[in-house]
């Protein structure tokens, strides 16, 4: 069955509300407007204003309400319009949600799920287009997910709600319109392991989110030149499944990491460091990284495109470390 990423997200939220009366959704424009990305469209009419709550423009406030509701035994799904705005709620996310279980010796669980849009590519300018998931992947006490396929978008939410700890789900804005096949036999996914999305023997392309379709397109282009690229979808950014990455790099002996975050202090930097620590002698070439330009994401279409990772840049990075065929 073909389905859009947006509809997969919507079905996941709807199923969560239908399955558990403790579950509710809140955020800016999630009710009457149907969500800024139409993910919650129709849910207010189906479940009512006590289960689908429109909030003021006050991320710190409504995220804090979500933390309290989770501690009290409810299962809140907080939607933050864009990950840039999540910085207004950083105190609640980092100093409360991520720490309360540890600070109370496990007396309090915080089963909170926060969904937010991330990434550039839609000409939404700097305050709506950055990729900050790598920042949150730095914080112990959080689980950080980045669904890149309709299957993960459809089923990661249920697994996140079942987790006793706070889970952040980053949905890339460019993926909402993407379509993919949803296998009716699949009814659940894990939120622990990376996935090999394409097998290959010459190098590994390691990525997540909207980097996945770009890496798959790059792998197609490389295949036309006789280079077999293996594509790894991280899926879970904290905790990282380095075992899958290490197994791939050990086979291919070359790696390109594609991360829409800025290169400095990025998730790609962490992965590269771990490869240097644990697989240095398995590598036959330097680690290459393809990241966003170190600038606020531009509004102008041509500038935005130039600032973000591209298929062409991924192909060029791969060719720089693969012997000529």
Place of tokens 């010796």: 105
Separation CA 93–CA 22 (nearest Å)? 21
Active site annotation includes 130: no
Instruction: Catalytic residue, from 28, 59, 260, 270: name it.
Output: 59
Separation CA 203–CA 194 (nearest Å)? 17
Could you tell me which residues come within 8 angstroms of residue 19 by beta carbon, excluding any fewer than 6 positions away?
158
Any idea what DSSP says for residue 295? S
Peptide bond preceding 211 in cis form (omega within 30 of 0): no
Angle between helices 150-162 and 5-19 (to 10 degrees): 30
Active site annotation includes 312: no
Q: Which two tokens stand for residue 102?
A: 């540890």
Cα dihedral sign, 63-70-165-170: negative
Q: Which one, of 177, 286, 195, lies nearest residue 236 by Cα?
A: 195
What phi-psi label fits residue 28: left (phi over 0), alpha (psi between -120 and 50 degrees) or beta?
beta
Instruction: Catalytic residue, from 7, 28, 79, 128: name it.
Output: 128
Could you tell me which residues come within 8 angstroms of residue 275 by beta carbon, excluding any fewer than 6 positions away?
245, 246, 249, 255, 283, 287
Could you tell me which residues come within 8 angstroms of residue 319 by beta carbon, excluding any fewer than 6 positions away?
222, 227
Residues annotated as part of the active site: 59, 128
């Amino acid at each position: 069955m073909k389905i859009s990423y947006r509809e997969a997200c919507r079905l996941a939220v709807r199923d969560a509300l239908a399955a558990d009366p403790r579950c509710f959704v809140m955020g800016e424009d999630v009710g009457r407007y149907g969500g800024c990305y139409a993910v919650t469209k129709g849910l207010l009419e189906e479940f009512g204003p006590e289960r689908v709550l429109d909030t003021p423009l006050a991320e710190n406030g409504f995220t804090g309400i979500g933390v309290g509701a989770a501690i009290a035994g409810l299962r809140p799904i907080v939607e933050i319009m864009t990950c840039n705005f999540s910085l207004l709620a950083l105190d609640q996310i980092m100093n409360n949600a991520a720490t309360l279980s540890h600070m109370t010796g496990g007396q309090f669980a915080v089963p909170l799920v926060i969904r937010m849009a991330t990434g550039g590519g839609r000409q939404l300018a700097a305050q709506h287009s950055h990729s900050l998931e790598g920042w949150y992947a730095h914080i112990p006490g959080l689980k950080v997910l980045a669904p890149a396929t309709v299957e993960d978008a459809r089923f990661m939410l249920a697994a996140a709600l079942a987790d006793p700890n706070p889970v952040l789900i980053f949905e890339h804005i460019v993926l909402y319109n993407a379509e993919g096949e949803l296998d009716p036999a699949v009814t659940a996914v894990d939120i622990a392991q990376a996935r090999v999305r394409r097998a290959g023997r010459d190098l590994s392309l390691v990525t997540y989110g909207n980097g996945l379709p770009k890496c798959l397109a790059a792998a197609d282009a490389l295949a036309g030149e006789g280079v077999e690229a293996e594509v790894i979808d991280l899926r879970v950014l904290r905790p990282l499944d380095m075992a899958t990455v290490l197994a791939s790099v050990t086979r291919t002996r070359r790696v390109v990491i594609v991360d829409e975050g800025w290169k400095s202090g990025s998730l790609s930097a962490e992965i590269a460091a771990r490869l240097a620590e644990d697989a240095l002698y398995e590598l036959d070439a330097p680690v290459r990284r393809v990241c966003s330009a170190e600038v606020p994401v531009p509004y102008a279409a041509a500038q935005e495109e130039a600032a973000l990772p591209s298929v062409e840049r991924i192909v060029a990075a791969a060719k720089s470390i693969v012997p000529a065929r």
